[in-house]
Structures are given as structure tokens and as C-alpha cells.
């Protein structure tokens, strides 16, 4: 790989990406390929911390891989693979787990949230998966991790684990930094704009999926919650409009002042329709490319197989050094 800073990021295969996943993370991955060495993966091992239908998980994993390619991840420029195909992640996770404090994991916000949502299955994987997330990053000694603002706690834990390892065994791991887009880092629910847009939302009108057709997207935006002021402007107390302006800005490149000027004197109906059309048009090439890739299963398999081989070659060098540092006996 070229002598550039290295970026790592992964995404769970828990269904079609939302507009929030796309704007907050995946869309930023494409331009990064020209500036950094990029390693991206579908983190199917993280997905099983909650119960999954094996058939759906397998299909969602393949769909997520194809979606990343449809969103512009170039397998010639980046390493793109499926997490469970690369054994070094799990191997490093055990070492890092032995350098992670119980109290650190018990304070993780997402563990508390998921434990409440899945009270009948609070398994140890749900508790320790931030360590596997740290292993995903540190297996490549990544410099930067594109994350949404809600993932900063996990990245901070990865830094803490790396720092503790370095103090015990000598400087080795790079302390990864967050890469967060200035705008659109957090897209909110269309029905409750105080909450993040989530594919697990019970209300389908709250979420835009990037494979939704144009009519569906426009219909969902028309139903988006706003307020009673009928003024398109960005300010405190206007969560619904602020969210729609953020989305519109993200897909059109217009700043908030330009958006306010464009819709001055117009009602929310005109604005919501414009946002829906802009989003649908922006996502159309992704839907088309996804359909093409999904139909070519042999090519997809070639890509994820070669991606895993590259990831293993890269990460094995790092994990082998970690094994040596902690005192494991070399097998060769």
C-alpha cells in the first residue's frame, strides 16, 4: 500500500443502509480512497450479538457488501472484505480483552441501550463487542476511523485499550483518531427528530432506506414531522426542519443560508417535496448499480474473497507481532 495514513471502518449487515448510515458514514468513504489507504468491511461478527436469522444474515451480508461497492467503494483502491473471513480480528480481540477493564465495558452507552431492547438475550458478546471493534481497528494500526458522533465512545475505548497495551508492552499501536464529516454526521428520525434515524425503528415512515424507490422516499418525506411555524430556517427548537435542512444540504451541497433563501415565503409542503425529490435523485445511481452487482454473484464472490486475502496478509503481520509482545511462543 502507498505511504499514506490508513483509514478503517466497518458497517453491520443488519438490513439495507439507512440514509443516516449513508450520509453519516458510507458516503464519506468514497472520496477518502484518493487521500488515504482505506480498509472497509462488513462486520457480520458484530451482528450476532443480537439474535439473527442465519439465512437473512447471510443475505444481508452479501447485500451490504454490494451496497458498499454501489456507493463507490473501489476494490482496486481499497481493501473491502467480510469480517468473519478474516480470523485475525477474533484472535486480536482476545488479547485486547485481557487489556480491557470490566468497568470500561459496563459504562458503554450502547450496551445499556441494547440490553434494554434485548432484555431476553443480554449475552457476553453484547458486553464485549466494543473490544472486537477495537480489534477491527487495531489489527491494521489505523490512523483514522470515520464514525458517527454516537460511535465516538467506542473509538475512545479503542484508544484507551491501545494506550494500556503500549504502556505494558512498549509502544506499538497507533492511537486512532475519529474522522467526522462537518455536516450530516447525524441524521435524525423523520417521525421523532430528537432520535437518530435507525433501521430498527418500528415506524417505517421514520426511516429512509437507500434502496427505497422514488415514490416511497417522497411519501416518507411528505409525512416528516416539522413544527407549526411554517418557516424554513435552522435554529434551536426546530428539530424536524433542522434535520430536513441537514439532509437537503448533504445531497445538494447548498448551505443553510442558501436553503433558507430558496424556500423563503414557501410552505413546509414545498420544502418536504423538494427534499424528497433531491434525496431520491441522489440515490438513484446507487440503486441501479446495486441491482447490477447483485445479479453478478460470481464477481461479488471474487471481490470479497480477494478482499479477505489482502486483509489477512496485512493484519497477520500486526497480530503476529502482538502475540510475540505478550509472550506467546512462535509456531514457526
The one catalytic residue in 77, 199, 222, 325 is 199
What is the pTM assigned to this prediction?
0.90
Residues 172 and 261 grouped into a single domain: no
Residue 1 lies in a domain: no
Residue 64 lies in a domain: yes
What is the full DSSP assignment across 158-214? HHHHHHHHHHHH-S-S---EEE--SSSS-PBPSS-TTSB--TT-S-GGG--BTT--H
Is-catalytic flag, 114?
yes
Domain enclosing residue 316, as ranges = 6-184+297-326
The three cell numbers of residue 194 are 430528537
The one catalytic residue in 30, 77, 196, 222 is 196
Which domain CATH number covers 284? Answer: 1.10.240.10
pLDDT at 149: 65
Residues 169 and 302 grouped into a single domain: yes
Residues 180 and 240 grouped into a single domain: no
Is-catalytic flag, 152?
no
For the chain, the average pLDDT equals 92
Residue 308 lies in a domain: yes
For residue range 169-209, what is the model confidence (pLDDT) as tens digits?
Answer: 999 999 999 987 665 568 999 999 999 998 888 899 999 99
Strand order in the sheet with 144-146: 79-82, 37-42, 6-11, 144-146, 177-179
Residues 21 and 119 grouped into a single domain: yes
Residue 191 lies in a domain: no
For residue range 48-105, what is the model confidence (pLDDT) as tens digits?
Answer: 988 899 999 999 999 999 999 999 999 999 999 999 999 999 999 999 999 999 989 8
For residue range 106-147, what is the model confidence (pLDDT) as tens digits?
Answer: 888 776 676 667 677 778 888 899 999 999 999 999 999 987
Residues 287 and 320 grouped into a single domain: no
pLDDT at 125: 83
pLDDT at 154: 87
Amino acid at each position: 500500500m502507498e505511504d499514506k495514513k490508513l483509514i478503517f471502518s466497518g458497517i453491520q449487515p443488519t438490513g439495507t443502509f439507512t440514509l443516516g448510515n449513508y450520509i453519516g458514514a458510507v458516503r464519506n468513504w468514497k472520496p477518502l480512497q484518493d487521500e488515504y489507504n482505506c480498509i472497509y468491511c462488513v462486520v457480520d461478527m458484530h451482528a450476532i450479538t443480537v439474535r439473527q436469522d442465519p439465512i437473512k444474515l447471510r443475505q444481508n451480508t452479501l447485500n451490504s457488501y454490494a451496497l458498499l461497492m454501489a456507493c463507490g467503494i473501489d476494490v482496486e483502491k481499497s481493501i473491502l472484505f467480510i469480517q468473519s473471513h478474516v480470523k485475525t480480528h477474533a484472535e486480536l480481540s482476545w488479547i485486547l480483552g485481557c487489556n480491557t477493564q470490566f468497568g470500561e465495558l459496563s459504562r458503554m452507552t450502547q450496551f445499556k441501550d441494547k440490553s434494554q431492547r434485548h432484555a431476553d438475550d443480554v449475552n457476553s458478546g453484547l458486553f464485549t463487542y466494543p473490544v472486537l471493534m477495537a480489534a477491527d481497528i487495531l489489527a491494521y494500526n489505523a490512523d483514522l476511523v470515520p464514525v458517527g458522533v454516537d460511535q465516538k465512545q467506542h473509538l475512545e475505548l479503542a484508544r484507551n485499550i491501545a494506550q494500556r497495551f503500549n504502556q505494558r508492552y512498549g509502544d506499538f499501536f497507533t492511537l486512532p483518531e475519529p474522522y467526522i464529516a462537518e455536516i450530516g454526521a447525524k441524521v435524525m428520525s423523520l417521525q421523532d427528530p430528537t432520535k437518530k434515524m435507525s433501521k430498527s425503528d418500528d415506524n417505517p415512515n421514520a426511516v429512509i432506506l437507500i434502496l427505497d424507490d422514488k415514490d416511497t422516499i417522497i411519501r416518507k418525506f411528505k409525512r416528516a414531522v416539522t413544527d407549526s411555524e411554517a418557516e424554513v430556517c435552522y435554529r434551536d427548537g426546530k428539530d424536524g426542519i433542522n434535520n430536513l435542512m441537514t439532509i437537503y444540504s448533504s445531497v445538494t451541497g447548498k448551505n443553510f443560508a442558501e436553503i433558507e433563501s430558496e424556500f423563503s415565503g414557501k410552505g413546509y409542503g414545498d420544502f418536504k417535496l423538494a427534499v424528497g425529490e433531491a434525496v431520491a435523485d441522489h440515490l438513484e445511481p446507487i440503486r441501479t448499480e446495486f441491482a447490477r452487482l447483485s445479479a453478478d454473484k460470481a464477481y461479488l464472490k471474487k471481490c470479497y474473497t480477494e478482499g479477505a486475502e489482502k486483509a489477512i496478509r496485512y493484519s497477520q503481520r500486526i497480530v503476529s507481532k502482538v502475540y510475540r509482545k505478550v509472550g506467546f511462543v512462535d509456531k514457526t
